[in-house]
Structure 1
Amino acid sequence: MTKPLVSVITPTYDRPEFLLSAIETVRSQTYPRTEHIIVDDHSHTPATDIVPSDDPNIITYRHDQNKGANTARNTGIDIATGEYIAFLDDDDEWEPTKIERQIDTAEQTGARAVYTGVEQELNGEIFATQTPNLNGNITRDLLTGAPLNSTSTIMFHENIFDKAGKFDEKLPINQDWEFYIRASTVTEFAAIPEPLVTRHHHDSQISDDYIGKRDVTVPRMLEKHLDLASSYGVDQEFKAVLQFSLGATAVRSERWSAARYHYFRSLLLSPSTTVLSRLLALTFGRWSYIPAQKIRRALV
């Protein structure tokens, strides 16, 4: 029986050294049927100057102007011809068995969304490992803050995009979480706990955009999903998660008073020891928070 084709979508912008690594990651997969769609978001050096021209499994498409990663992923979805669609950020890496394991899991469970564990790497060192175990209907879990990590960990059946739509191009950040919520309303999810993805972090990343999250992402998330959260009876928890996320982003941006404000609001909405401990650690801003975080990591 012929295995289904998997379309791998990689958005890229001005990172040729990462893009070559992403190409090798896809080429190294043990799964036999893939097409690799590289969407060049109008890089200064066109991706076609970097991508091997003799690989029939690679499709390169270039935007006529820079439109952002959300639009690039959606462009890739429009181009894809595979029965399944997986995403790979140009600076992430996959274990060779990643796609094969996901296809096997999809066929065994019937889930139309399969995601894996991930190792988080910074400056050559792994600083965190997530091994997920949420399966089935996970809408409530997503609304209350369960992490599924980046799009590089997940694979969807192509019909999910017909049912749930594509990535929200108006969101500057958290577009993956927002899409996962919509997808979870039309399919069950299956988890592969093993960390089959390595996510490479850099000194400055879009997830640290506090202003964009505060002014665009959080209001839009409330507009789109607060009614859904209310239907599950977790509207307060959903709002608390959004405030907690704002607090965490404020910390990364070293906006200490803003972080205290958002953690306090999160605590009022849905009390938890995690939020309380972070709020206490922020008593004296960076002078108390950074030592407290070092102690916490040492105890983990």
Structure 2
Amino acid sequence: MKRVGGNFKGIMQKLVSAVIITHNRLDLLKKAIESVLMQSYGNIEIIVIDNYSNTDTVQYLAKIPNIIVKREKKFVNGNIARNHGVQLAKGDYVAFLDDDDEWKSNKIQEQVRVLEQCSNVGVVYTGMEKVYDHKFKNKEIISDYFSGNIENKVFTGMFATSSSLMIRKSLLNQFKFDEKLTHWQDYDLLVTLSAVTLFYAISDSLTVINVNTISNQRLSNQFEKWQKATKYFYSKHNDRIVKLCPAYKRLMKLNYVNDALTRLDTKKGVYLKRVMYLFQRVYLSKSIKSFVYMIPGITFDKMRKFKSAKNNNK
């Protein structure tokens, strides 16, 4: 899509709801909230869904003025918490932020600019700066491949995460996060929305994503639950998937395999399983470079960290 620009004056009155989900990560939550308070766009309401956190988090949130806090009575699926945040949102636009992520200061301003100038766009997302284990940084400057009408190509790759999104509230009143899913929650919503609205990509890395590749407690690292969720995802969207062209179906399978390999990086005793997925990756990508990952100790995360460190030293 054509790059949006022009004067920002006159649209500051639109309210944006920033929905933050948190659970027992107080130090990170403080940084997330601070990144919202530091936004160049001023008309933002902060909604924090406290997903049954400990006492320290409760006490901290009680001291912050002018924010809306809803505490869950028990720990719930993250999608349930996000939907509760949407229910409380009064803004024209809703932006989501996980408690371990942050926004650059002009993130909201740039997204509002797009939605105000493009009435047929319902979802705006930004590029990301990924920080691996609080050490290695990698900026992902995205193209506009997933902009415009992406109803079919949406299945070929995961291009955004919840913290990079801004969505019109009118759409979220109709389409909610699927509360049955434990993984691919934001991706599933994007697939659903791609059938009813246009997307817009802001190439700049305005969202900071903190990636923890070490902790097995991190939900995104739990491979068996991920397998179950992806099976449900493909079944749910099967009516659209069967209509895809062969090229898109191949890329969809490659997207799945890449995600599987990333999640297997942190698991022990799965060498043969990784090899199986690697052979699939070679076949689907038509590149023998994937065989490098058969070397013991070489993982997707280590390669990303190496590339990030190399980029930082330039």
- TM-score > 0.5 by shorter chain: yes
Partners of 1:296 and 1:16 lie apart in 2 by 29
> By how many angstroms is 1:295 displaced?
11
Residue matched to 1:244: 258
Residue matched to 1:224: 236
**2:170 is matched with which residue: 155, 159, 178?**
159
Residue matched to 2:223: 210
Q: Sequence identity of aligned pairs in percent?
A: 26
Residue matched to 1:96: 105
CA contact (8 A) 1:25 1:96 kept: yes
Relative to the length of structure 2, the TM-score reads: 0.84
Partners of 1:85 and 1:91 lie apart in 2 by 18
Show the 5 A alignment for 1:108-257.
108-110=117-119, 111-134=121-144, 135-145=147-157, 147-163=158-174, 165-202=175-212, 203-204=214-215, 205-214=218-227, 216-233=228-245, 234-254=248-268, 255-257=270-272
Residues 1:42 and 2:52 are matched in the alignment: yes
SS in 2 for 1:248: helix
Q: Which has the higher contact order (CA 8 A, sep 6+)?
A: 2
Show the 5 A alignment for 1:48-87.
48-51=58-61, 53=63, 55-56=65-66, 58-87=67-96
CA contact (8 A) 2:257 2:277 kept: yes
Change (3 A) 1:239 1:88: same
> By how many angstroms is 1:38 displaced?
0.3
Residues 1:272 and 2:286 are matched in the alignment: yes
Structure 2 residue runs without a partner (length 5+): 1-9
Amino acid at match of 1:242: Y
Q: Deviations over 1:55-85 (max 9, x none)?
A: 22x1000010000322111110111111100
SS in 2 for 1:88: strand
Residue matched to 2:29: 19
Partners of 1:217 and 1:32 lie apart in 2 by 38
CA contact (8 A) 2:262 2:301 kept: no
SS in 1 for 2:73: coil
Change (3 A) 1:225 1:272: farther
Relative to the length of structure 1, the TM-score reads: 0.87
CA contact (8 A) 2:126 2:160 kept: no
> By how many angstroms is 1:219 displaced?
0.7
Q: Deviations over 1:173-216 (max 9, x none)?
A: 111111111111111111111111111122323221111112x1
SS in 1 for 2:181: coil
> By how many angstroms is 1:237 displaced?
3.4
Partners of 2:258 and 2:210 lie apart in 1 by 23
Partners of 1:283 and 1:108 lie apart in 2 by 49
SS in 2 for 1:107: helix
> By how many angstroms is 1:4 displaced?
1.3
**Regions of 4+ moved over 4 Å:** 288-292
